[in-house]
Amino acid sequence: MRKKPNNKNNEVNKLIMKFINHVKAHFEASNEIVDEILAVLLPELECMLELEANKKKKLLQIGTALSVEKNLDALLELIVVEAMNLTNADGGTIYLISDDERFLAFKILQNISLNYKMGGTSGTPVSFPPLNMYKPNGEKNDQMVAVHVAFTGHTVNIADVYEVDGFDFKGAKRFDQMNNYRSKSMLVTPLRNYEYEIIGVLQLINAMEVDGSIVTFPTYNQELIESLASQAAVVIDNATLIKDLDDLQMGIIQAIASAIDEKSPYTGDHIRRVTEITMMLAHGICKSNDERWMNFTMDKNEEKTLKIAAWMHDVGKIITPEHIIDKATKLEKIFDRINLVIARFEIVKRDRELRFLIERTQLNPNEISYRKLEEEYKKDIAEMNDDVDFLRCVNIGAEYINDAQLERIEQIAQKYKITINGQEDNILTENEVKNLSIRKGTLTNEERAIVENHVMSTIKMLVKLPWPKKLKNVCEYAGEHHEKIDGSGYPHKLAAEELSIQSRILAVADVFEALLAKDRPYKRGKTISEVVEILISMTKEKKLDGDILDFFIKSGLMVDYAKKELLSSQLDIFIYDGKEYDCRI
């Protein structure tokens, strides 16, 4: 049924009245005949004019919708759907030309009669292979209509694909046979971007009348689709460019992060693992029904912000000296100076042996003093060996050293003297005593300050970058991963109320991964139960967010991650809040 005239359409009415006056002015003698003709034609004319106006209005609305949509898959789907709506087509397909310009790749395929929806937001991938644009011998494969349009840039409008010469429709006929379908009319038009390059092809199948009959795509619809295709190509090009720039941005960020990790053989893959844990926690918390997280949501831009922050959280380490990042023992700088200490002990032992041999030649083997001299020599050598073993152990930095051990280090330094080039010195230098006296770990206070300064370096580097408004919080999240909720962290000593959930999540992920790391030079990878015990202690001390740790464990995400990433020797059973969690595979 045709649409009734809409008398409120002023533009249409003005055109009709202009037409009536024009006709009457030329047929004054036959007004009755003119009135009869107009009585028949005017409703039809009004409907046609209004339909045309509505289509143009619809085209403008589609153009606006296309400009708003940023997701490429959704955008391609929108183009096909709206093109089908404009032409009352039963089916539609979009192909995009591959980067190497060798193929036309199926991106969207829809068919109303067959209830087909492939590609786009459907969740169903297009199952058809791409169209080869060239034959094996290198010739253009332009017998395929979509390829022909891609090469020529000219629209093809076919009344019946079964009765047309010059094109190969074996594929369409095979599709029809498999699906009990009849492809008939077809409209194929190029997608040409603002540089006049063809980037793809839009193909419509079977223009339908109201009664369901299949007709040829009319010329006015062809012009509409060509106009739509022109708009669509520009928008697709822009969306592709934005996606390519986003991909390039993430690629550069990940390359920088990988370079930082590879700077040290002991921190390799740390940033990737922290990012994975961070995003796993953030997505889980967003989906949680727990009332603690009801107000926490992230859109795509906020997700990307946190992901970039996680990738960049250690970027400041790029200026941290390798000998500090890689400091595996207390005496290590460019090399481990414990070997120099051992070499000095060997000199002292040889000097002691030489003195013993000289003194022994002056005594009778049968004298008591001879045996006493020998016993003292053996005692001194054993004592030196014991002190060397002690220094070796202390140098590793794996265990906390107490006051008695600190005092012993000082005694050893004073006890043994070594003479080189006529100059006598203590066997340990002041710097070696200072480093060996580190209570825990392998870093002096000065070295630890340099390591901690990587956060300030991270902030300084990131704040200089021209982040778009949607990514404005990257610096905040990346720069706060060493803050503690009790305000004792660094670099700004921010308290709980000053820290975002994103920053707290990243902090938990960073500590968790560092404790589990199985590739650090100064410690073994801890078991999951040991790590959980430490994390619980840190939440009790208000260093980490206890709610985030609680979710991490109870959601099962921690167990899942452990089974995927850790060595079998690190997987065991732990108990949290009265429940047993088994991480063993």
The pLDDT tens digits along the chain (585 residues) read 334 444 445 555 666 666 666 666 665 545 666 566 656 666 666 665 556 656 666 656 666 666 666 677 888 888 888 889 888 999 999 999 998 999 999 999 999 999 999 998 888 988 889 999 999 999 999 999 999 999 999 999 999 999 998 899 998 999 999 999 999 999 999 998 878 889 999 999 999 998 889 999 988 888 888 888 887 787 888 778 878 888 888 888 888 878 777 776 556 588 899 999 999 999 999 999 999 998 999 999 999 999 999 999 988 887 777 666 666 676 777 667 888 888 888 988 998 888 888 888 887 777 778 788 888 989 999 999 999 999 988 888 767 888 899 999 999 999 988 888 888 888 898 988 888 888 887 777 787 777 777 888 888 889 998 998 999 999 999 999 999 999 999 899 999 999 999 999 999 999 999 888 765 555 567 899 999 999 999 999 999 999 999 999 999 999 999 999 888 989 999 999 999 999 987
Residue 297, classified by CB atoms within 10 Å of its CB into exposed (0-12), middle (13-18) or buried (19+), is exposed
Quick check: is 251 in a domain? no
Quick check: is 258 in a domain? no
Quick check: is 326 in a domain? no
Check whether residue 126 and residue 189 sit in a common domain: yes
Check whether residue 357 and residue 302 sit in a common domain: no
Cα angle at 180 between 175 and 186, to 5 degrees?
55
Check whether residue 57 and residue 144 sit in a common domain: no
Which residues are CB-contacts of 261 (< 8 A; sequence separation ≥ 6)?
267, 268, 269, 270, 271, 272
CATH number of the domain bearing residue 183: 3.30.450.40
CATH number of the domain bearing residue 524: 1.10.3210.10
Strand, helix or coil at 73?
helix
Question: Can you tell me the distance from the alpha carbon of 145 to that of 86, in angstroms, rounded to the nearest whole number?
Answer: 22
Residue 4 has what pLDDT?
Answer: 40
Check whether residue 270 and residue 237 sit in a common domain: no
Check whether residue 359 and residue 483 sit in a common domain: no
Residue 246 has what pLDDT?
Answer: 85
Quick check: is 254 in a domain? no
Check whether residue 224 and residue 274 sit in a common domain: no
Check whether residue 86 and residue 46 sit in a common domain: no
Residue 38 has what pLDDT?
Answer: 58
Quick check: is 248 in a domain? no
Quick check: is 559 in a domain? yes
- Are 198 and 190 a contacting pair, CB within 8 Å? yes
Quick check: is 332 in a domain? no
Residue 6 has what pLDDT?
Answer: 45
Question: Can you tell me the distance from the alpha carbon of 461 to that of 479, in angstroms, rounded to the nearest whole number?
Answer: 10
Question: Can you tell me the distance from the alpha carbon of 243 to that of 556, in angstroms, rounded to the nearest whole number?
Answer: 34
Question: Can you tell me the distance from the alpha carbon of 278 to that of 284, in angstroms, rounded to the nearest whole number?
Answer: 10
Beta bridge partners of 89: 207
Question: Can you tell me the distance from the alpha carbon of 467 to that of 531, in angstroms, rounded to the nearest whole number?
Answer: 36
Q: Is the pTM of this model over 0.75?
A: no
Quick check: is 154 in a domain? yes
Check whether residue 43 and residue 91 sit in a common domain: no
Check whether residue 5 and residue 30 sit in a common domain: yes
Check whether residue 142 and residue 175 sit in a common domain: yes
Total domains in the fold of the chain: 4
Between the two ends of the chain, the Cα-to-Cα distance in Å is: 68
Pick the last residue of a domain from 43, 67, 91. Answer: 67
Check whether residue 98 and residue 132 sit in a common domain: yes
- The parent domain of residue 60 ranges over 1-67
Check whether residue 549 and residue 504 sit in a common domain: yes
Residue 167 has what pLDDT?
Answer: 93
